[in-house]
Structure 1
Amino acid sequence: MRAFGYRQSNSDHTLFLKRQNGKLTSLIVYVDDMVVTGNDPEECAALQRYLSTEFEMKDLGSLKYFLGIEVSISSSGIFLSQRKYIIDLLHETGMSACQPVATPLEEGLKLSVDPNQVPVDKGSYLRLVGCLMYLAHTRPDLAYALSVVSQYMHDPGEQHMNAVMRILRYLKGSPGKGILFKRNNHFSVEGYTDADWAGSIDDRRSTSGYFTFVGGNLVTWRSKKQNVVARSSEEAEYRVMSLEKL
């Protein structure tokens, strides 16, 4: 790719970019799957011809499915979801017929490390949380719930497993949710942050949350427990703002 004039991204080494004449062409690769896109049709075609001389390739047409992410392109924009992944996950876990709930976590729920609670199979808990974390690519509504349940992967108990199963019940009622990228006439950047204060029962650390819009489209989001104990709610808010800048 470098020999063909492309630059490898520093943030993601599987992404290659080429800018010329004010246009951008990009290629991202995962093992033997590739996505080529950009606003320079001639360069996209030239890239495909070049790659076909180096590898045996098959053009599958417009992008519809990639690494478990479904892509729908319409006049409204580009919509990303993981509906099939969620349905398959519910089927594998025996939750296809479960009663759906309206929120990923029970309101006011405070999980903690409790040596007296009933233990659960650690391997099953790790696998479930790992499968759910992959949904974070298209489901920002799961960010906080996943940040909570992932904190107890070292020693899960019945209370923690119940919280994970509730996330599955939430997904049962909303398998088709995702992210829509619309074509807007601006590239303004907007960021929003929030934090609780001493929300963790175990260590009294606060939890940060932020999300960022570029051109009116959501591009980054995160929910994470802070590294140190904040001495006030104001300090917790300042810490989450510095985290977003990073």
Structure 2
Amino acid sequence: MDDLILTSMRTEDINSFKREMVARFLLSDLDALSYYLGIEVRQGKEELMLDQSAYASKLLERGGMAECKPCVTLMEERLKLTKASTTAKVDATLYRSIIDGLRYLVHMRSDIAFVMGYVSHFMEDP
């Protein structure tokens, strides 16, 4: 089973494509897209809104940061992290999982790209 997302400026193009596919394949039409791969989709007459806030919230929960308050500065300025840290080791599997989640978020949240890249340097031994 494969999912297909159809987009067009003209509804008649979508309907024509659907009719052709139904003639060739067994097809289920799920109507308007509302949620796909962690992205909430809201469609209006003149706009399409994509939102990953629910996905981001789940990522914060997984990292134990669900109660943290949002801030404008994503990372402490001039922060120097080192692999020779004296702090306790973190769960490497959880750390990598969160970094992978951030990689997915960066497609729609380019403001986190620098921070995500910076903390990715510590994937091998977090």
**TM-score bin (small chain):** 0.7 to 0.9
- CA deviation digits over 1:81-116, x for unaligned, max 9? 201212222333443223333322112212233265
Distance 1:62 1:154, change over 3 A: same
The aligned runs of 1:56-71 (5 Å cut-off) are 56-71=26-41
Distance 1:55 1:88, change over 3 A: farther
Distance 1:93 1:113, change over 3 A: closer
Greater than 4 Å deviation, 4+ residue runs: none
Give the Cα separation in 1 of the matches to 2:98 and 2:122: 12
Q: Which has the greater radius of gyration? A: 1
Amino acid at match of 2:71: V
Give the Cα separation in 1 of the matches to 2:60 and 2:54: 10
| Higher strand proportion (structure 1 or 2) | 1
The percent of aligned pairs where both chains have the same amino acid is: 36
- CA deviation digits over 1:108-154, x for unaligned, max 9? 21223326553322111111111121111211111111011111101
* Number of the residue aligned with 1:177: none
- CA deviation digits over 1:207-243, x for unaligned, max 9? xxxxxxxxxxxxxxxxxxxxxxxxxxxxxxxxxxxxx
- CA deviation digits over 1:14-65, x for unaligned, max 9? xxxxxxxxxxxxxxxxx62211112343332121122223433222222222
Give the Cα separation in 2 of the matches to 1:137 and 1:110: 26
Amino acid at match of 1:38: S
Amino acid at match of 2:54: K
- CA deviation digits over 1:167-194, x for unaligned, max 9? xxxxxxxxxxxxxxxxxxxxxxxxxxxx
Give the Cα separation in 1 of the matches to 2:81 and 2:46: 40
Distance 1:102 1:40, change over 3 A: closer
1:100 to 61, 70, 74: 70
SS at 2:6 equivalent: strand
* Number of the residue aligned with 1:38: 8
Amino acid at match of 2:79: L
Amino acid at match of 1:70: E
Give ranges in structure 1 of 5+ residues lacking alignment. Answer: 1-30, 157-246
How many residues are treated as equivalent by the alignment? Answer: 126
* Number of the residue aligned with 2:98: 128
SS at 1:100 equivalent: coil
| Higher helix proportion (structure 1 or 2) | 2
Give the Cα separation in 2 of the matches to 1:102 and 1:86: 16
Give ranges in structure 2 of 5+ residues lacking alignment. Answer: none
Normalising by structure 2, we get a TM-score of: 0.81
Higher relative contact order (Cα pairs below 8 Å, separated by 6+ residues): 2
73-82 vs 62-71, greater mean Cα deviation? 73-82
**Displacement of 1:75 after TM fit?**
6.0
The aligned runs of 1:74-93 (5 Å cut-off) are 74=44, 77-93=47-63
